[in-house]
Amino acid sequence: MISHNVITVLIALLISISSAAQADDQLNQVDYPLISVPKGHYTLYIPDNNFFKLGYLEKKVSFDSIIHIGKFEVSNRLWNLCFKLNGCNRPVMMREGETLDSPVVRVNWHDAYGFSKWYSSYTNKSYRLPTEEEWVYAAYLGKDHRNIEIQYDYSDLNKIREISKKTMPLGSFKENALGFSDYQGNVWEWTLTCWYASEEKKLKEYSSAELNTPQACTTRIVQGENRSHIPDFIMDTYSGGCATLEPAANLGFRLVLEEN
């Protein structure tokens, strides 16, 4: 006959296993909401710096199909799911005050690229990073986006170093009419687009397939509060790269779903 104590232990064990299974199920059910950006065309204004003034190159861009792009950046929660299922090589690194519902940051371009490959396999769909053209079109709906450049005073480096890099929960910043959220938040987002010095290459048309490989280039465009170009191995612009000391130092990303 099984003693009362043994039965109690067995019941507790079954409850523990059930709770763990439920927790796993909840962890595995991490949504990544998308918005749909209608087809259309617009002019992408590409900053063209010289010694005298900031100018812009005008690149005509057309989209013949709907763009399905992430409403938010990829979250810490979704990244940790990738880590749990052995798709990412480390868990998230969060600062005090950040949560699992904050965007994942401190990731370089290769991390973001690798995540897109894992998420594609996990969902049996085709995900990738957006091109700069897609990101800007989704954020500004084809309108002139040249006037959002924000200038900072770099005269006091100590004050710059004191700027908080803590990320805010998804949905904390501006959302446009289509529901594209946090595009002017405190996270810079990796894109597929390569940085080039020459005008010819800046204006050249590149397919997403050409850009969606680590071999395409070693410096990528990031978008957000400001536009910049950063070496693909940098995880935090306070520690190096072309944009060192820019306040928006957190590097994250969002994804595009390609239609089959």
Domains of the chain: residue spans and CATH = 19-258 (3.90.1580.10)
- Output the 3-class SS for the chain: CCCHHHHHHHHHHHHHHHHHHHHHHHHHCCCCCEEEECCEEEEEEEEEECCCCEEEEEEEEEECCCEEEECCCCEHHHHHHHHHCCCCCCCCCCCCCCCCCCECCCCCHHHHHHHHHHHHHHHCCEEECCCHHHHHHHHHCCCCCHHHCCCCCCCCHHHHHCCCCCCCCCCCCCECCCCCECCCCCEEEEEEEECCCCHHHHHCCCCHHHHCCHHHCCEEEEECCCCEEEECCCCEHHHCCCCCCCCCCEEECCCEEECC
The pLDDT confidence band at residue 48, using thresholds 50, 70 and 90, is confident
pLDDT digits (tens, 9 = 90+) for 186-217: 899 999 999 999 999 999 999 999 999 999 99
Between 248 and 32, residue with greater pLDDT: 32
- 145 pLDDT above the threshold of 70: yes
- 153 pLDDT above the threshold of 80: no
pLDDT at 22: 40
> What average pLDDT score do residues 32-40 get?
96
